């Protein structure tokens, strides 16, 4: 199969490596000539996965025409806030009708749209789905066992792509709940920042477990009002990715939170990260949406206040703990 991966960062490169090793013809669309040149000539990605050797049949391009001609699947792996601009840039040359897979976890700040919704506006004739779940790029690139979920509304297409894209260590489950899988992937990044802050403040393992569980409740409260399937939250994209990113030091979102908890400023952290931490942006979209919809998302609100209102995380914590006592499951989590 000819696969084009748009975005030659950590995730695009890791996915490209896995599928090239399976024997697919994979073309990575980078935006910087120097990066494409390094991938092609040195067979490594010095900026994002410097210690990983890349296969010969993984080729990088900066010309969208070369990367997209006669391709059969396009996988999107750029930061969510740039997806619209990148997709619009290739609108006229991307083949019609071929499936598009978002590997992006986030929500567009200006519109509160998911990546698949954005792709739908730009490529209405192409079937669109999402790949998500607990999957640090570095571990995938190293060939460590990983399970993710691929969601397409059309079951037969999900089956076909599941077969084509699974490998002996990269196992795809299938789903038809595109909206639910996307909401899980977006919200978990915000919860990972919260868990990082908690660990940075040395609040302990009990606090982190509470954040993961109440983070799941928040994810469900939002997702259920947006038409997600309830089971999706307990799956790989929901609980699976929450556990990974709220506990794994490889997470950029967790790292942002941890460093905030240790007292660093957000600007300083982002200036030294060199990779995208999607939760930093998604929290803005979520916060605004929750305010407008009257939805209670207290952890999201707390992360927003720490990031954008320069609130001391200890004050935010005090407020979270002094909220009125309530039942564990209230509507919409329980009818």
Ligand X SMILES: NC(=O)C1=CN([C@@H]2O[C@H](COP(=O)(O)OP(=O)(O)OC[C@H]3O[C@@H](n4cnc5c(N)ncnc54)[C@H](OP(=O)(O)O)[C@@H]3O)[C@@H](O)[C@H]2O)C=CC1
Ligand Y SMILES: O=C(CO)COP(=O)(O)O
Binding annotation for sn-glycerol 3-phosphate: 105, 133, 135, 188, 241, 251-253
The least CB distance from residue 223 to ligand Y, in Å, is 17
d(CA 144, CA 135): 10
φ/ψ bin of 79: left (φ > 0), alpha (ψ from -120 to 50), beta (otherwise): beta
Strand partners, 174: 150
Of the candidate spans 63-71, 209-217, 274-282, 312-320, the one that interacts with ligand X by CB under 6 A turns out to be: 274-282
Q: 3-class DSSP state for residue 250? A: coil
The least CB distance from residue 281 to ligand Y, in Å, is 12
Distance of CA 2 to the CA centre of its chain: 24
The least CB distance from residue 68 to ligand Y, in Å, is 25
Taking a C-beta distance cutoff of 8 angstroms, is the pair 245, 183 a contact?
Answer: no
User: Could you tell me the two tokens for 252?
Assistant: 């950029």
Active site residue 188: yes
User: Could you tell me the two tokens for 268?
Assistant: 């300083």
**Binding site listing for NAD(+):** 7-12, 137, 252
Taking a C-beta distance cutoff of 8 angstroms, is the pair 112, 41 a contact?
Answer: no
245 binds, among ligand Y, ligand X, none (CB under 5 to 8 A by kind): ligand Y
Should residue 192 be labelled a site residue for ligand Y when binding is judged by CB under 6 A? yes
244 binds, among ligand X, ligand Y, none (CB under 5 to 8 A by kind): ligand Y
**Binding site listing:** 7-12, 31-32, 48, 105, 133, 135, 137, 188, 241, 251-253, 276, 278
Q: CB-wise, 136 or 287, nearer to ligand Y? A: 136
31 binds, among ligand Y, ligand X, none (CB under 5 to 8 A by kind): ligand X
Should residue 27 be labelled a site residue for ligand Y when binding is judged by CB under 6 A? no
Q: 3-class DSSP state for residue 102? A: strand
Should residue 276 be labelled a site residue for ligand X when binding is judged by CB under 6 A? yes
Q: 17, 59, 113, 188: which one is catalytic? A: 188
The least CB distance from residue 275 to ligand X, in Å, is 4
Taking a C-beta distance cutoff of 8 angstroms, is the pair 119, 76 a contact?
Answer: yes
- Residue 83, CB-side half-sphere exposure with 13 Å CA sphere: 33
Task: Work out the end-to-end distance of the chain between its first and last CA atoms, rounded to an integer number of angstroms.
Answer: 46
Instruction: Kindly list the distances between the CA atom of residue 332 and the CA atoms of 224, 252, 328, in Å, as whole numbers in the listed order.
Output: 7, 31, 12
Should residue 135 be labelled a site residue for ligand Y when binding is judged by CB under 6 A? yes
Task: Give the residues lining the site for ligand Y (CB under 6 A).
Answer: 105, 134-136, 189, 192, 241, 244-245, 251-254, 278
Task: Give the residues lining the site for ligand X (CB under 6 A).
Answer: 7-12, 31-32, 35, 47-48, 77-80, 82, 85-86, 103-106, 135-137, 275-276, 278
């Amino acid at each position: 199969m000819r696969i084009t991966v748009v975005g030659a960062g950590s995730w695009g490169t890791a996915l490209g490596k896995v599928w090239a090793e399976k024997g697919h013809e994979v073309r990575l669309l980078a935006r910087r000539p120097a990066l494409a040149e390094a991938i092609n000539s040195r067979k490594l990605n010095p900026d994002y996965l410097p210690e990983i050797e890349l296969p010969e049949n993984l080729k990088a391009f900066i010309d969208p025409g070369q990367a997209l001609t006669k391709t059969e699947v396009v996988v999107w792996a750029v930061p969510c806030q740039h997806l619209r601009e990148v997709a619009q840039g290739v609108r006229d040359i991307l083949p019609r009708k071929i499936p598009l897979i978002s590997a992006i976890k986030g929500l567009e700040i200006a519109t509160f749209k998911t990546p698949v919704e954005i792709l739908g506006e730009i490529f209405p004739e192409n079937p669109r789905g999402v790949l998500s779940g607990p999957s640090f790029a570095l571990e995938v690139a190293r060939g460590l066992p990983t399970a993710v979920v691929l969601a397409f509304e059309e079951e037969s297409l999900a089956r076909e792509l599941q077969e084509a894209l699974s490998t002996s260590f990269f196992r795809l489950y299938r789903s038809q709940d595109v909206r639910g899988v996307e909401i899980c992937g977006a919200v978990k990044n915000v919860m990972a920042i919260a868990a990082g802050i908690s660990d940075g403040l040395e609040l302990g393992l009990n606090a982190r477990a509470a954040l993961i569980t109440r983070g799941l409740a928040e994810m469900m409260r939002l997702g259920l009002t947006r038409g997600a399937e309830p089971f999706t939250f307990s799956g790989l994209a929901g609980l699976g990715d929450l556990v990974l990113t709220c506990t794994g030091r490889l997470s950029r979102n967790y790292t942002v939170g941890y460093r905030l908890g240790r007292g660093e400023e957000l600007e300083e952290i982002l200036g030294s990260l060199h990779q995208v931490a999607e939760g930093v942006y998604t929290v803005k979209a979520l916060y605004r949406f929750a305010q407008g919809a009257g939805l209670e998302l207290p952890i999201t609100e707390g992360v927003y206040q720490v990031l954008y209102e320069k609130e001391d995380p200890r004050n935010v914590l005090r407020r979270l703990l002094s909220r009125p006592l309530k039942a564990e499951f209230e509507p919409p989590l329980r009818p």
